[in-house]
Amino acid sequence: MRQQDVSRTGFLDTNQRDRLFWLIQESHAIQSHWDFLVWMQLGIRELLPHDILIAAWGDFPAGALHFDVSSTMLGVRTGEFAHRPDLVPFAVMVQDQWRRLERKPFSIQYDGASEWDVAPPFDSQQTGRVRSCLVHGIHNRRDGSDCLYIFVDYTHEYDKEARLLCNVVLPHVDVALRRIEGLPYAPHGSAAITEESPPPDTFGISGREQEIMRWVCVGKTNQEIGLILGISPNTVKNHLKRIFAKMNVSNRAQAAAKFKVVTTA
C-alpha cells in the first residue's frame, strides 16, 4: 500500500499509519498459525480491537464451510469450533447480509435491542456474552468465492470508525492468512493440538503458563501479557514465579531462551 493510498483515509492518525505500515512489513514473516496469532495480537488488535476472529470460506449457499479461528481465549480454537452446530448458520446469515450490503463492512450490536434474531455462536458460560460483531469479507472476482471475516468483541461496540478501519486492515489479514495452511479439524469430542496451542509436557508447566511464556518470548511485559490474556499483571507475575521454579531459572531472559530451545526443537 502506498503512502498516498493511506493518506486518503483521513481518519487514520499518525500512530495508526505507523502501525499499519509496521503490520504490512511484519506480515511477510508469517509462516505458521502461531506467527499469525502473534501478529494479530501485537498489531491488528491495537488498530481493530477484538477477542475472536473467525474466518469462513467455502460454499455458503450449501453451508459447506471451512473455518479458521484466531484468539487467545482459552478453549477458543479452530478444532473446537469446527463442530459447533450454530456456527455455520450464523456465518451463512451474515454472509448473505454482507452481499446484500454490496460487500461493505457492517456491525451487529447485541445490546438487547438488536434486530438480529440469531444470537452469535460465541456466547458461553466460559467466555460471557458478546457485545458486538464486525463483519467484512474478501470477494474473489476470478472464481466468485467469498472469504468472510467476523470480529467478535465482548466489551466494546463496533462503530463507523471501526468499519472504516476494517476496510483498510482486512486485505492484509486476508493475504497473511492465505499464506499458511488451514488447521486440521479434530474428531468430534477429542482435543486437538494445533499450532495455536502450546506443545504438551513442556517442563511440566500448564497450558496457561505456556501461553504466558509465548508472550514473554516476544518481549511482552507483565502488564501487556495481562491485557492480552485478560488477567492482572500480578497474576502474570505469580505465574512466572512458578514457571521459573519449574524450569530451574532465575529470570525471564533465561526462561525465554530455555523455552525457545525446547519448543522449536
What was the pLDDT predicted at 192?
A: 39
What was the pLDDT predicted at 74?
A: 60
What was the pLDDT predicted at 10?
A: 58
What was the pLDDT predicted at 103?
A: 96
Q: How far is CA 210 from the centre of its chain?
A: 18
Residues 155 and 226 in one domain: no
Nearest partner of 114 among 125, 102, 104, 106, judged by Cα = 106
Residues 231 and 161 in one domain: no
What was the pLDDT predicted at 188?
A: 39
Low-confidence residues in the chain, pLDDT < 70: 1-11, 74-83, 112-119, 123-127, 182-202, 261-265
Host domain of residue 242: 207-263
What was the pLDDT predicted at 194?
A: 45
Burial of 65 (0-12, 13-18, 19+ CB in 10 A): middle
Residue at 200 is within a domain: no
What was the pLDDT predicted at 125?
A: 56
Residue at 191 is within a domain: no
Number of folded domains that form the chain: 2
Residue at 188 is within a domain: no
Nearest partner of 185 among 73, 55, 80, 69, judged by Cα = 80
Residues 161 and 252 in one domain: no
Nearest partner of 60 among 93, 85, 108, 83, judged by Cα = 93
Residues 227 and 120 in one domain: no
Residue at 239 is within a domain: yes
Domain harbouring 119, CATH code: 3.30.450.40
Residues 151 and 103 in one domain: yes
Integer Cα distance of 8 and 14 in angstroms: 13
Residues 35 and 145 in one domain: yes
Residue at 76 is within a domain: yes
Residues 19 and 143 in one domain: yes
Distance set, CA 106 to CA 68, 80, 99 (Å): 20, 26, 11
Residues 101 and 48 in one domain: yes
Residue at 247 is within a domain: yes
What was the pLDDT predicted at 115?
A: 58
Domain harbouring 222, CATH code: 1.10.10.10
Integer Cα distance of 87 and 244 in angstroms: 40
**What are 54's strand-pairing partners?**
69, 150
Residue at 99 is within a domain: yes
Strand runs labelled E in the chain: 52-59, 64-70, 106-109, 132-139, 146-153
What was the pLDDT predicted at 193?
A: 39
What was the pLDDT predicted at 140?
A: 93
Residue at 9 is within a domain: yes
